[in-house]
């Protein structure tokens, strides 16, 4: 199939939104194909270009409706609390990788969070993909990032960018027509999505009922109560009160 024929099919598809049509046009011009290379590593200049294209064509009003959760990695209570303390101590100008959920949907943890603890944050989404493996933007440790998917600016903090293209045309999330990709994230045979968020503020701590213990709950309360943060279940409705262990 030639590039021009493939482009024609994509641009004439009535299901495609104006956001995706615009992104495909710019992406094709940049890569020479609407599908792009099968996969390649992006250098910093290419990462910035891909992120700029996304920002230009994404429906930012729709992005504001997405519930974004930074799940905490750790196999022990202490590791989880340390991870939570680290992200709460970070600058809100540091971009953070999160998992996105449609409003009204119950949260389910990803494989990154063994104990089902996460930080629900609100901010500006600066990139979104239905497959985190197409991003590889780096992992946050509380004071630095691992891997190379970031840069640091004195005024704007850490900037996270996609470092691979898998290709972007087929995995980027741009608007409400991509809701199905968000809803299926992390399900059977489905990849986990990634929403990069900037200028964020913590909304609440999520502690999923299935995984919590009184000991973990006590430690989380001790860490966040003075910050005025609620601790919520996966439905984000019920506030979990403290249950002090003896």
User: In terms of Cα–Cα distance, which of 57, 56, 112, 52 is closest to 79?
Assistant: 112
- How far apart are the C-alpha atoms of 122 and 125, rounded to whole Å? 9
**What is the C-alpha radius of gyration for the chain, rounded to an integer number of angstroms?**
19
User: In terms of Cα–Cα distance, which of 201, 65, 194, 237 is closest to 122?
Assistant: 201
- What's the confidence (pLDDT) of residue 14? 43
User: In terms of Cα–Cα distance, which of 176, 146, 171 is closest to 158?
Assistant: 146
- How far apart are the C-alpha atoms of 229 and 12, rounded to whole Å? 48
pLDDT in tens, 190-246: 788 999 999 999 999 999 987 778 899 999 999 999 999 999 988 887 777 655 543
Q: Within 10 A of 61 (CB to CB), how many other CB atoms are there?
A: 9
Q: Within 10 A of 208 (CB to CB), how many other CB atoms are there?
A: 19
Length of the chain measured in residues: 246
Looking at the DSSP bridge assignments, the partners of residue 207 are: 117
* Cis peptide upstream of residue 167 (ω within 30 degrees of 0): yes
Q: Within 10 A of 13 (CB to CB), how many other CB atoms are there?
A: 12
Domain boundaries, the chain: 39-232
Taking each helix axis from N to C terminus, what angle separates 18-31 and 44-57, rounded to the nearest 10 degrees? 160
- What's the confidence (pLDDT) of residue 64? 96
What is the pTM (predicted TM-score) of this model? 0.82
Each residue's pLDDT, cut to its tens digit, for the chain (246 residues) gives 233 323 332 334 445 688 888 988 888 888 776 655 555 677 788 888 889 999 999 999 999 999 999 999 999 999 999 999 999 999 988 999 999 999 989 898 888 788 899 999 999 999 999 888 777 655 544 444 444 444 444 333 457 767 766 666 678 899 999 888 888 776 666 788 999 999 999 999 999 987 778 899 999 999 999 999 999 988 887 777 655 543
pLDDT in tens, 6-15: 333 233 444 5
């Amino acid at each position: 199939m030639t590039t021009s024929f493939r482009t024609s099919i994509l641009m004439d598809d009535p299901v495609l939104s104006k956001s995706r049509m615009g992104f495909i046009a710019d992406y094709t011009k940049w890569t020479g194909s609407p599908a792009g290379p099968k996969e390649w590593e992006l250098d910093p200049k290419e990462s910035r270009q891909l992120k700029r294209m996304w920002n230009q064509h994404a429906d930012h009003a729709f992005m504001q409706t997405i519930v974004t959760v930074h799940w905490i990695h750790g196999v022990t209570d202490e590791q989880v609390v340390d991870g939570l303390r680290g992200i709460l101590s970070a600058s809100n100008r540091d971009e953070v990788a999160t998992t996105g959920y449609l409003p009204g949907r119950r949260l389910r943890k990803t494989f990154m969070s063994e104990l089902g603890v996460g930080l629900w944050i609100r901010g500006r989404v600066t990139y979104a993909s239905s497959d985190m493996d197409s991003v590889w933007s780096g992992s946050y440790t509380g004071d630095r990032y691992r891997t190379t998917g970031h840069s640091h600016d004195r005024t704007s903090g850490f900037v996270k960018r996609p470092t691979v293209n898998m290709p972007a045309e087929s995995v980027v999330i741009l608007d409400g027509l991509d809701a199905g990709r968000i809803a299926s994230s992390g399900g059977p045979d489905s990849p986990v999505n990634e929403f990069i968020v900037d200028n964020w503020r913590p909304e609440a701590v999520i502690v999923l009922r299935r995984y919590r213990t009184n000991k973990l709950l006590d430690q989380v309360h001790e860490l966040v109560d003075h910050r005025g943060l609620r601790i919520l279940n996966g439905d984000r409705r019920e506030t979990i009160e403290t249950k002090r262990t003896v």
